[in-house]
Amino acid sequence: MFHYASVGKLFVWTVAIQLVEQGLLDLDADISIYLPEYLNQQFAFEHAFSMRDLMNHSAGFGENILGIAFNAQTLETATILREALLSTQPPQLFEPGTVSAYSNFGTALAGYIISHISEQDFSNFVAQNILIPTGMVNTMNQADWFANRDFLQRKAIGYISNGRGGFVEGIWVYSPLYPAGSTIGTAEDLARLAIALMPAYGESGVLFENAYTLASLFTPSTLDPQNFLGTHHGFMGYAGAYPSFGHSGDAPSFSANFAIVLERRFGVIVLSNAGNEFNIRFEIMDLLLGQSTEMDISDNLPNVSAVEGRFLRARSMAGSFLEFLDFLAVPTASVTALDENTISITYGALGSLVYRQVEPYVFRLVSHDGIAFTIFGDEIRFRMAEGSPVQMHIGNGQDHLPVASFRSAPSLILSVIAALVSMLFFLIMPIILLVSYLRNLKKDTHKSLFCKLSNMLLLCGTLLVLNNLASIVRIFVINMFRTATEIAPHILIKLSKSLKV
């Protein structure tokens, strides 16, 4: 048994379309009508959004990496999905429908909505409507496998690179947001899913009542042009020799790919138990699916120098104390014009790509090296305003936005210096005050109210600094899978959010 990781998201989107076919779900309705009122009040979403927005990763959510994954061997009880959603809810950074920013939270929320509509546990609903009809007898979702030790004994051992050409055993991850990608099973079972999604022409297959519903699943679900291979009701488009649809997935010790070519009734499933060797699966996909060679170039195209600049992924941790990781750990996409119609994109150590402009500010891939291709894909579109790019639209949750001027390298360096000075201040001043207190202990002196209050504020600052340092050490040195409770002090002082709720 291999970890399907985010390939498991396809189960969410498939059963969602089944509910649409049954007339129980409207993809464009405000999701609040499918949630109990008390839960709407607890979520208090800033902007209304729909199931279609969740499918397109365009509900506007930012990223929250705290509390979304744990080492499965350290847990004894499963987490309730509703509670997991409430404890890991990220802020909405964008107006829904405008930016495609990949969101595990959004997918898990869609799973909860499906569970609420069907009045069944999400795992049970998927089992009854996908696993059993397709004969996927060796696939199980997290809510079921967590307590099934016999099933877990059949799982593969995952590995990660030790950085010296070898591998060490990795961990098996448990995610409280389990609809987003905590299903395990076999390559053969995923092949059964591929077969069910590609019945003979004009047939509906075992998953839907009519062929029209199945065909609609692979139509664009965004406002993008019909020929743009972006998101298709949660299925990611891939421009091979023939258009294909599917999803990729990554877990700490596993990686997966699933793709089907409807025109040829051909599917590719790649499962790997080497988590950080995910470039292998994409190379296999390229070999088996081929690459598109079509490139019709329009006339009178604008000079591509207008799109030059630095871009950062929209999938951001803005609003949390880990926001700095977006600029220190996530590479920026550096766009450079090679000639009046060709650009290169350099994506840190992940490689580079060359794109050719085929329509105004629409670019098709010419060549690439490294694994940056897995993020940027075959086609990108720049959205312009007053002659400058305001968005690099890739779809599939991978949109990038221009790096703000205050996020330039000099500004970040100054910010780091300011943070270090502040940190040192709060760490050193309590020691100075303690020494002063001990020296004046025998003197009959009384501190003014102002001094007492300022010392209390200083102590609060010191505690927050120590909390930050402890959290960072625990996340990056001891165990990256931490909970949101460790940043409770930050949550408590977000008065504006608390007052709003």
CA pair distance 142, 144, nearest whole angstrom: 5
pLDDT (0 to 100) of residue 489: 54
Determine phi and psi for 305, rounding to 5 degrees.
-60, -20
pLDDT (0 to 100) of residue 483: 47
Both tokens of residue 277?
Answer: 């060797």
CA pair distance 195, 206, nearest whole angstrom: 10
What's the sign of the alpha-carbon dihedral 124, 127, 128, 130?
positive
CA pair distance 43, 82, nearest whole angstrom: 11
Hey, which residues does 333 pair with through a beta bridge? 311
CA pair distance 130, 208, nearest whole angstrom: 10
Alpha helix ranges (H) inside 352-448: 373-376, 409-439
pLDDT (0 to 100) of residue 382: 95
What average pLDDT does range 83-102 have in this prediction?
A: 92
What average pLDDT does range 177-202 have in this prediction?
A: 94
CA pair distance 323, 255, nearest whole angstrom: 26
Least confident of 198-207, 268-277, 289-298, 474-483: 474-483
Other CB atoms within a 10 A radius of the CB of residue 274 amount to: 17
For the chain, the distance separating the N- and C-terminal CA atoms, rounded to the nearest angstrom, is: 43
In the predicted model, is pLDDT for residue 338 greater than 70?
A: yes
The count of C-alpha atoms lying within 13 angstroms of the C-alpha of 282, restricted to the half-sphere facing its C-beta, is: 20
Share of the chain above pLDDT 70, in %: 88
pLDDT (0 to 100) of residue 501: 46
Q: How much is the mean pLDDT over the chain?
A: 85
CATH 3.90.650.10 is the classification of domain 2-219: no
User: 394 versus 322: which is more confidently predicted?
Assistant: 394
pLDDT in tens, 118-142: 999 999 999 999 999 999 999 998 8
Least confident of 29-38, 107-116, 165-174: 165-174
83: left (phi over 0), alpha (psi -120 to 50) or beta: alpha
Q: Which of 219-228, 379-388, 484-493 has the highest mean pLDDT?
A: 379-388
DSSP E strand stretches across 20-132:
70-71
Least confident of 95-109, 230-244, 312-326: 312-326
* b/e per residue 481-494 (b: at least 16 CB within 10 A): bbebebbeeeeeee
Q: What is the CA radius of gyration of the chain?
A: 25
What average pLDDT does range 439-445 have in this prediction?
A: 69
Total-model pTM: 0.83
- Would you list the domain boundaries of the chain? 2-219, 304-406, 411-500
